[in-house]
Structure formats: structure tokens, C-alpha cells
């Protein structure tokens, strides 16, 4: 089950890289977060960790429901361009994405040998970190860059739950608060000058 | 009321007051209240579930709060100089309150995760402070800061997760605590910890403008208003450096030679870039911003070489000198922005060029600057490391290269000083009372640093 969920998580992230419309990108980000939340809830259930189940549920509420909605609202309010063509051509991305996925595995091989559990998920979370960074790099517009940061945060959350079986609850709540602060800042920045 | 709540009151008060019609002097007074809890904590260290106050972080908090007071003083008159409207001043104080809130959390945290949350909070609040003055350049730099800052801070979190993973099996949730990790350094998975440490420290270094991101911070400080640059160099960089101190103390117990090699190589690359960028700099703010990177490099290598006294003295001296210079730039650049010539001429009050000259020469460690003493002790620590090392000649060569690069910076600053004092026209320049007060505050703080009692105190912070 967990393999299927992580498969969907990576698939939605890869789709984000090829998306050329802003609202669709937000939709894929929302789905990506939904699968992440489900992974946390499933892992939490398996190891009977209520903190991880709560974190997964909060992930679904904040990242699947709230953040995409707020970002869509901001995009509509400030007339942010919806056409978000990546700077990187599709055929290059098609080559780079599998290269990242395969080579990250070899890159982090020494790390995953030192992991007591979920070693493969750690490799996948690190590749998703690189994919999210690629999303930031390949776009000139600021809106997909913001989705890129949020995807980095998702990758780090996956790394935290797979490598450490969950961080302390207080730290995870703090990270959620920081994310909301990021959205507030983004809103204010757009409010005063719009996209450039 | 618990002390861990009281310390946040001044910053919350500042945020609340920023929503009403403001009086600049009153806001500066309220803003200066941040020093009260800092002094209290300095005198009465405490420990609870989330915070651990020791000599190191109470010292960093105290110097940061003095910088905060200096910045608040300059904000009384700066809006007149920069034509800032009331809304812009309100925005500055609102985000300064949030910044200080995040910073206290970060500085006092004994938990790596909480440290990160505070740092992220402070980082995000500075994004908006950058564009207090509404200009297209400031707007672009604010976005740039958000982009690079978010990537840097993500790297820090990435490293923290790996460091936590390295010790969770042994320590459980205590694997997040700096002190618990240091106490149990021999039991943790050293490979995973070192990978996490390297990634986190790379994030810290990017945030401070180290190689290869040397210019991003300088551009941002140039585009924002002077107090923001002062907050970056005097407070935010000190908080980041504190994180580096905490983590590197653990890494020293895991593998000192890896730490020394990594830091020295990174330092030499950064100094190489920065020294030539300073040589080419055309304005005060960019020069000071780049010089800030140089000093962070020095603090890093003094610390990893075991020169704790030198590193902490240098950190404190830099925290006072650099904001003072950034805030003085508003006086130096009042007639022309991209010109050094004549910047120290034309003041009716002769105290101003004297104080700025002292600061300008102090930053390149001319005695009696505290930096003179910190560099003497710092280089001694570096030589001690070289003597104990198996690679004596390589280390001596590295130290020689560092001194050579520092001499380029020294030459540039002397040239700037001479041009500012002896060349150019004698154009009249205006100085506000609050600016004199700010300069006096920083000068007195710097002089206090060279008192024997202060030397003894700093020496006792890390035994």
C-alpha cells in the first residue's frame, strides 16, 4: 500500500514539472500533498504513532485544501499570468527527470546503507527534493517557484517521516506555521506589486 | 507569568502598535524595550522544555538587542532622509517585531527543530522588510531573497532531519537537542550525522553569502533601506552563526579533522571571491555587505580552529561595527550614492567624521578595535591547529593565502578612507540628532568590548 502511495506521490510531482497552466499546477500540488498526507497517516497507523497520524491529517487540511485554495485566490485576485511555460524544453525534462530519479539512488547509496528503516523511501524523498528544486529552476514566473518551495517542503516532510519515523510534534506544527507565514508574505508581495 | 512568555512581549507590543497611528520617537522607545528581557536573561539564565539559556546564547541575544536599539534610534530620522511615508514605517516596525519574535526563538532554542522554525520565521519577515521602500529593484530583490533564502533554509532542515535520524535510535526525541547530541556524540551514527551537518552548514553558509552565493546578499542589502542591512549583518547573521557554533561543537566530537578541512576549503574559496569583489566595489553598502561575508568567514575559521574567544569577540565586534557602518551610509551617501570621494567631508559637527572614521578603520582591525585583538588570538589559534596537524605545510600555506586575501581588503578600505577624507568636494551634509545617538551607542558598545572584564567574560563563555 505504502509503495503505491509513494508511487502516486512521485508521479504527481513529476507531472508538476510538465504542467504549463497555473491552476492545473496547483491541482497537482494539492494531489501531491494528499498522497503525502495519506502516506503519513498509513505509516502512523502501522507503527501506532498518533503524532504522525495527526501530522498527516494536518497536511491534508493545510496543504491539500487550504494552501492551493489560497494560492488560487491570490492568483485570481492579482491577475497573475496563468500560462507558465517552463524555460526547460519538454524533451530535456523528459531526460532529466529519470536521470535524477536513478542517479539520486546511487548518490544517496551510502546514506541509505546507514538507515535502519525505510531506506528506499529516503532515496525517493531525496529525489523528490531534487525534482522540486528543478521546478524552481525551470520556471521564470514567480507563482510556480512558490509551488516549487512548497514541493520542497513536501519532500522534506516525506524524508522526515521515512528517515526518522516522524519528527517531534511541536517541530512539525512549527513548520506548518512557517508555511502559512510564507503564504501571507507571498500575498503581501503580490498585493504591492503583482508578478513581474 | 513565565519568563519564556515575558521575553516576547516587546516584539508583540511592537506588532500591535504598528497598526495604529505612530509617533516615531515613541515607536523607537518601544522598540528599544527589546533590550530589557535580553538583559534579564543575561543575568538570570533559565532552562525549560523548549529553551536553554547558557552563556553563549544569552551573550548573542544581548549583543543582538543592542544592535536592535541602535537600529531603532536611526529609524527616528531615517524616514526624513529616505522620504518614507508613515505606512512604510509601520510596515518596518510590524515586520521588525515578527523578526525579533522569530529570532528569540531561534537564539534560545535547545532544539534543532525549534531553532530552524525561529530562523525561518525571522527569514520570512525580513523578505517584506527589504521592500519597505517601494521600488522595482527592492521588489525584485525581495523575491530573490525569498527564493534563495527558502532554498538555503530548506537545506538546513534537510541536514537537521538527517542529524536527527542519526541519533533517534539512541536518544529518541532528545536527538533534536543540541546538548543531548553533544553529550552522546560517541553513540550516534557518525556518517549520517556528518552528511546532515555538511548539508545544514552549507545552508547556513548560503544564507550568509558564502561561496558561490557571494553577491546575492550584497545586492539585497543595496536594494533595501539601511536599517534592514544593519539587521541582517548585526542580528540575523549572528543567529545563523550561533547555529553553526552549536552544530560544529558536536561535529568536533564526531570528527574534528573533517570539520577543519571542510571549513578551511570553504573559507578560502569564499575569501578569494569576496576579496576581489570588495576590490571592485563602487559604493559603501556593497563594500560593507561583502566585508560582512569576510568577517563571517574569519569567525568560522577561528571557531573551528578552537579560538572560541577570538570567534566570539569578533562576532560581537562585527555585530556592532557593521550595523553602525550600514546606518552611517545614510550620511555618507546623502549627496551621491556611488562615490567614495568627499564622503567624510562637509559635516558641521566634527564628531561625525571622527566616529565614522574610527568605525571604518575599526572594521579592518586597526587598533584599538576589538577586531585587532580577535584577529591576533584567532590567527594564533590557526597556527596552533597547523602545529598539531599532520599537514603542517598545507595548513601554513592556507593561513598565508587567507592573510594575502585579507590584505587586498585592507588595501581597499584604506583607499576608501583616504578618498572619503582627502579627495572630493566639501559639500555640506546634514546630520540628525538620532544619528549621533546611534553612532555613540555603537562606539561605546565597541569600547566596552575591550575592557578586561569583558575579555574575561567572553573567555569564560566556552571553556
How confident is residue B1, by pLDDT bands cut at 50, 70 and 90? Answer: low
**pLDDT for the residue numbered B325:** 96
Residues B71, B323 contacting (CB under 8 angstroms): yes
How confident is residue A195, by pLDDT bands cut at 50, 70 and 90? Answer: very low
| More confident position, B259 or B425 | B259
Domain boundaries, chain B: 251-463
**pLDDT for the residue numbered A30:** 95
Any CB–CB contact under 8 A between B124 and chain A?
Answer: yes
Nearest chain A alpha carbon to B156:
A156
Task: Give tens-digit pLDDT for B379-409.
Answer: 999 999 999 888 889 989 999 999 999 999 9
Q: Which three cell numbers stand for residue A82?
A: 496563468
Nearest chain A alpha carbon to B151:
A149
Residues B161, A156 contacting (CB under 8 angstroms): yes
* Residue B37, number of CB atoms within 10 A of its CB: 19
Average pLDDT, chain A: 86
Residue B131's nearest CA partner among A142, A72, A193 is A193
Task: Give tens-digit pLDDT for A59-114.
Answer: 899 889 998 998 899 888 888 888 888 888 888 888 999 999 888 888 888 877 77
How confident is residue B118, by pLDDT bands cut at 50, 70 and 90? Answer: very high
Contacts of B287 by beta carbon, 8 Å cutoff, 6+ apart: B278, B281, B412, B413, B416
Measured between beta carbons, the chain A residues lying within 8 angstroms of B146 are 185-186, 189
Nearest chain B alpha carbon to A117:
B165
Instruction: Indicate if the pLDDT at residue A196 is higher than 60.
Output: no
**pLDDT for the residue numbered B357:** 95
Q: Which three cell numbers stand for residue A123?
A: 532515496
Nearest chain B alpha carbon to A174:
B117
Task: Give tens-digit pLDDT for A126-154.
Answer: 899 999 999 988 888 888 888 998 999 89
Residue with cell 578586561: B452
Distance between start and end Cα atoms, chain A: 43
Which residue from B113, B128, B176 is facing A188, i.e. has the nearest CB? B128
Average pLDDT in the B349-368 region?
93
pTM equals 0.93
**pLDDT for the residue numbered A184:** 75
Nearest chain B alpha carbon to A142:
B143
Which residue from B121, B142, B150 is facing A189, i.e. has the nearest CB? B142
Average pLDDT, chain B: 91
Q: Which three cell numbers stand for residue A109?
A: 547509496
How much of chain B is helix, strand and coil, in % rounded to 5? 80, 0, 20
Closest-CA distance, A183 to chain B, in angstroms, reads: 10
Closest-CA distance, A126 to chain B, in angstroms, reads: 9
Q: Which residues of A touch B (CB under 8 A)?
A: 110-111, 114-116, 129, 133, 136, 142, 145, 149, 152-153, 156, 159-160, 163-165, 167-168, 170-171, 174-175, 177-178, 181-182, 185-186, 188-189, 192-193, 196
- Interchain CB distance below 8 Å, A163 and B191: no
Which residue from A171, A178, A196 is facing B139, i.e. has the nearest CB? A196
Residue with cell 560517541: B186
Residues B79, B70 contacting (CB under 8 angstroms): no
Question: How many Å is the Cα radius of gyration of chain B?
Answer: 21
Q: How many residues does chain B have?
A: 463
Using the 8-state DSSP alphabet, how is residue B172 labeled? Answer: G
Residue B324's nearest CA partner among B99, B129, B81, B70 is B70
How confident is residue A192, by pLDDT bands cut at 50, 70 and 90? Answer: low
Using DSSP, how many helices (H) and how many strands (E) does chain B show? 20, 0
Amino acid at each position: 500500500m505504502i509503495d503505491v502511495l509513494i508511487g502516486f506521490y512521485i508521479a504527481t510531482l513529476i507531472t508538476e514539472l510538465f504542467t504549463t497552466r497555473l491552476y492545473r499546477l496547483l491541482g497537482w500540488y494539492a494531489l501531491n500533498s494528499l498522497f503525502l498526507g495519506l502516506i503519513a497517516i498509513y505509516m502512523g497507523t502501522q507503527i501506532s504513532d498518533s503524532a504522525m497520524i495527526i501530522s498527516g491529517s494536518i497536511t491534508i487540511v493545510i496543504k491539500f485544501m487550504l494552501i492551493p485554495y489560497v494560492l488560487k485566490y491570490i492568483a485570481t485576485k492579482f491577475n497573475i499570468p496563468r500560462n507558465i511555460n517552463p524555460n526547460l524544453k519538454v524533451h530535456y525534462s523528459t531526460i532529466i527527470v529519470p536521470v535524477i530519479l536513478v542517479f539520486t539512488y546511487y548518490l544517496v547509496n551510502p546514506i541509505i546503507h546507514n538507515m535502519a528503516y525505510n531506506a528506499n523511501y529516503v532515496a525517493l524523498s531525496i529525489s523528490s527534493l531534487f525534482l522540486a528544486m528543478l521546478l524552481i529552476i525551470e520556471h521564470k514566473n514567480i507563482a510556480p517557484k512558490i509551488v516549487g518551495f512548497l514541493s520542497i517542503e513536501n519532500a522534506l516532510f516525506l524524508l522526515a517521516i521515512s528517515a526518522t519515523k516522524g519528527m517531534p510534534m511541536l517541530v512539525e506544527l512549527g513548520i506548518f506555521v512557517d508555511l502559512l507565514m510564507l503564504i501571507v508574505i507571498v500575498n503581501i508581495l503580490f498585493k504591492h506589486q503583482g508578478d513581474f | 507569568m513565565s519568563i519564556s512568555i515575558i521575553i516576547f512581549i516587546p516584539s508583540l507590543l511592537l506588532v500591535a502598535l504598528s497598526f495604529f497611528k505612530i509617533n516615531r520617537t515613541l515607536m523607537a522607545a518601544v522598540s528599544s524595550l527589546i533590550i530589557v528581557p535580553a538583559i534579564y536573561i543575561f543575568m538570570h539564565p533559565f532552562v525549560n522544555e523548549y529553551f536553554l539559556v547558557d552563556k553563549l546564547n544569552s551573550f548573542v541575544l544581548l549583543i543582538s538587542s543592542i544592535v536592535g536599539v541602535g537600529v531603532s534610534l536611526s529609524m527616528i530620522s531615517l524616514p526624513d532622509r529616505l522620504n518614507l511615508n508613515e505606512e512604510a514605517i509601520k510596515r518596518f516596525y510590524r515586520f521588525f517585531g515578527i523578526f525579533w519574535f522569530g529570532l528569540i526563538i531561534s537564539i534560545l532554542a535547545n532544539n534543532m527543530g525549534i531553532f530552524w522554525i525561529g530562523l525561518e520565521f525571522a527569514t520570512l519577515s525580513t523578505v517584506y522588510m527589504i521592500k519597505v521602500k517601494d521600488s522595482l529593484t527592492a521588489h525584485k530583490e525581495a523575491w530573490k531573497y525569498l527564493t534563495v533564502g527558502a532554498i538555503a533554509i530548506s537545506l538546513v532542515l534537510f541536514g537537521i532531519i538527517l542529524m536527527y535520524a542519526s541519533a533517534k535510535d539512541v536518544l529518541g526525541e532528545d536527538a533534536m537537542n543540541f546538548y543531548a547530541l553533544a553529550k552522546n556524540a560517541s553513540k550516534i551514527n557518525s556518517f549520517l550525522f556528518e552528511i546532515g551537518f555538511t548539508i545544514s552548514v552549507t545552508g547556513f553558509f548560503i544564507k550568509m553569502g558564502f561561496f558561490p552565493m557571494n553577491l546575492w546578499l550584497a545586492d539585497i542589502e543595496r536594494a533595501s533601506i539601511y536599517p534592514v542591512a544593519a539587521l541582517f549583518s548585526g542580528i540575523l547573521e549572528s543567529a545563523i552563526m550561533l547555529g553553526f557554533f552549536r552544530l560544529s561543537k558536536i561535529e568536533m566530537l564526531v570528527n574534528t579533522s573533517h570539520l577543519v578541512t571542510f571549513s578551511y576549503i570553504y573559507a578560502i574559496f569564499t575569501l578569494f571571491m569576496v576579496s576581489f569583489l570588495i576590490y571592485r566595489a563602487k559604493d559603501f553598502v556593497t563594500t560593507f555587505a561583502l566585508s560582512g561575508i569576510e568577517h563571517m568567514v574569519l569567525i568560522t575559521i577561528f571557531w573551528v580552529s578552537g579560538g572560541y574567544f577570538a570567534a566570539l569577540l569578533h562576532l560581537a565586534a562585527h555585530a556592532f561595527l557593521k550595523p553602525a557602518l550600514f546606518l552611517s551610509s545614510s550620511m555618507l551617501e546623502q549627496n551621491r550614492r556611488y562615490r567614495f570621494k568627499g564622503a567624510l567631508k562637509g559635516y558641521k559637527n566634527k564628531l561625525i567624521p571622527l566616529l565614522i572614521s574610527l568605525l571604518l578603520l575599526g572594521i579592518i582591525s586597526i587598533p584599538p578595535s576589538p577586531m585587532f585583538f580577535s584577529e591576533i588570538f584567532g590567527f594564533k589559534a590557526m597556527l596552533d591547529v597547523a602545529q598539531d596537524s599532520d599537514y603542517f605545510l598545507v595548513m601554513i600555506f592556507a593561513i598565508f593565502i587567507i592573510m594575502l586575501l585579507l590584505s587586498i581588503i585592507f588595501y581597499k578600505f584604506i583607499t576608501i578612507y583616504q578618498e572619503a577624507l582627502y579627495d572630493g568636494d566639501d559639500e555640506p551634509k546634514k546630520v540628525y540628532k538620532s544619528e549621533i545617538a546611534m553612532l555613540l551607542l555603537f562606539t561605546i558598545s565597541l569600547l566596552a568590548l575591550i575592557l578586561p572584564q569583558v575579555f574575561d567574560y567572553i573567555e569564560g563563555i566556552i571553556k
